[in-house]
Amino acid sequence: MAALALIRDRRVLMVRVQGHDVLYLPGGKIEPGEGARQALVREAAEEVGLEIDPATIEDLFTVLADAHGVHAGRLVSMTVYRAEPREGTRQEPVPSGEVAEVELVGSADADRCPPAGQAALERLVALRLID
């Protein structure tokens, strides 16, 4: 999986998907024939209406955690990238597609996230990107 860490005011953008009660980083599965960065750009457009500038994409880290909502023992590998919208395009995220809500969160919101999201928040705090 490729996930976007869009940082604003020491908080990170997370989304709530329709029919779910937890928060996720925007992103998703890498499609066949697609690179991770291409998936990041596609998912950001589909989920939060942002046109990511490929020149701003920065690899941050990969987390391996229990997958949410599936059988016990199944793991998800999520690579998190920091990136910014292309200049001259929408700069603020909006819910799009399957996303019901967008929200900027900090580490205090970890209990609202599945294991991979919690791990990502911990890493973002360790990198001193969010509070």
Residues of the domain holding 89: 2-126
* 59 is a domain residue: yes
Condensed to tens digits (0 to 9), the pLDDT of residues 2-40 reads 999 999 999 999 999 998 899 999 999 999 999 999 999
Q: What is the CATH number of the domain that holds 22?
A: 3.90.79.10
**β-sheet with 99-105: strand ranges across:** 7-8, 11-17, 99-105
* 73 is a domain residue: yes
Tokens 């294991």 label which residue? 115
* 117 is a domain residue: yes
* 113 is a domain residue: yes
Condensed to tens digits (0 to 9), the pLDDT of residues 82-99 reads 999 999 999 999 999 899
Count of domains for the chain: 1
CA 36/CA 83 separation, integer angstroms = 13
* 131 is a domain residue: no
